[in-house]
Amino acid sequence: MKRKIKIRTDGSSEIGLGHLVRCISLANMLVDYYEIKFVCKFIPDEIVKEFENSKFELVKIFHELEFFEAICSDEIVVLDGYNFDFDYHITVKERCFKLICIDDMHEQKFNADLIINHAPGISKSDYNAASNTKFALGLEFALLRPLFLKQAVIQRKIEKLNTVLICFGGADEINLTKKVVQEIIHINHFEEIIVITGSAYKHLRDLENYIRNNERVTHIHHADEVEMLESMLKADLAIVPASGILVEILAVGCIPVSGYYIDNQLNIYNGYKKLNAIVDAGDLRNMDIKEIIKNINILNHKNIIDGKSGLRIVEMIKSLEYENSNISR
Are residues 171 and 197 part of one domain? yes
How many residues make up the chain in this entry?
A: 329
**Domain range enclosing 109:** 3-144+308-328
Give the pLDDT confidence score for residue 324 in this predicted structure. Answer: 64
Are residues 77 and 177 part of one domain? no
Judging by beta carbons within 10 Å of its beta carbon (0-12, 13-18, 19+), is residue 112 exposed, middle or buried? buried
- Low-confidence stretches of the chain (pLDDT beneath 50): 326-329
Name 236's Cβ contacts closer than 8 Å, sequence gap at least 6.
158, 160, 161, 162, 163, 164, 254, 255
Q: What is the DSSP letter of 118?
A: -
Give the pLDDT confidence score for residue 327 in this predicted structure. Answer: 42
What is the spatial distance between Cα 301 and Cα 281, in angstroms, rounded to a whole number?
15
Q: What is the dihedral of CA 287, 290, 292, 296, to 10 degrees?
A: 160
Are residues 272 and 161 part of one domain? yes
pLDDT, tens digit (0-9, with 9 covering 90-100), for 251-268: 999 999 999 999 889 999
Name 212's Cβ contacts closer than 8 Å, sequence gap at least 6.
none
Q: Which CATH number covers residue 53?
A: 3.40.50.11190
Q: What is the DSSP letter of 23?
A: H
Are residues 206 and 75 part of one domain? no
What is the spatial distance between Cα 144 and Cα 138, in angstroms, rounded to a whole number?
13
Contacts 24+ apart (CB under 8 A), 20-26: 20/47, 20/170, 21/145, 21/170, 21/244, 22/80, 22/102, 22/118, 22/143, 22/244, 23/78, 23/80, 23/102, 23/143, 24/56, 24/145, 25/143, 25/144, 25/145, 26/78, 26/102, 26/116, 26/143, 26/313
Are residues 83 and 21 part of one domain? yes
Give the pLDDT confidence score for residue 328 in this predicted structure. Answer: 38
Contact 57/39 with Cβ under 8 angstroms?
Answer: no
Q: What is the dihedral of CA 238, 239, 240, 242, to 10 degrees?
A: 100
Question: In the chain, count of helices (H) and strands (E)?
Answer: 12, 15
Are residues 323 and 288 part of one domain? no
Are residues 135 and 25 part of one domain? yes
Are residues 56 and 75 part of one domain? yes
Q: What type of residue sits at position 42?
A: F
Judging by beta carbons within 10 Å of its beta carbon (0-12, 13-18, 19+), is residue 326 exposed, middle or buried? exposed
Are residues 195 and 68 part of one domain? no
Give the pLDDT confidence score for residue 297 in this predicted structure. Answer: 84
Q: Which CATH number covers residue 192?
A: 3.40.50.2000
Are residues 151 and 296 part of one domain? yes
Are residues 92 and 161 part of one domain? no
Give the pLDDT confidence score for residue 218 in this predicted structure. Answer: 98
Q: What type of residue sits at position 165?
A: L
What is the spatial distance between Cα 29 and Cα 287, in angstroms, rounded to a whole number?
36
Give the pLDDT confidence score for residue 230 in this predicted structure. Answer: 98
Cα distances (angstroms) measured from residue 174 to each of 230, 246, 268: 26, 19, 20
Are residues 179 and 105 part of one domain? no
Residue 317 φ/ψ, nearest 5 degrees? -70, -40
pLDDT, tens digit (0-9, with 9 covering 90-100), for 214-234: 999 999 999 999 999 999 999
Contact 128/282 with Cβ under 8 angstroms?
Answer: no
Angle at 49 between CA 105 and CA 145, to 5 degrees: 45
Residue 41 φ/ψ, nearest 5 degrees? -95, -40
Q: What type of residue sits at position 141?
A: F
Number of structural domains, the chain?
2
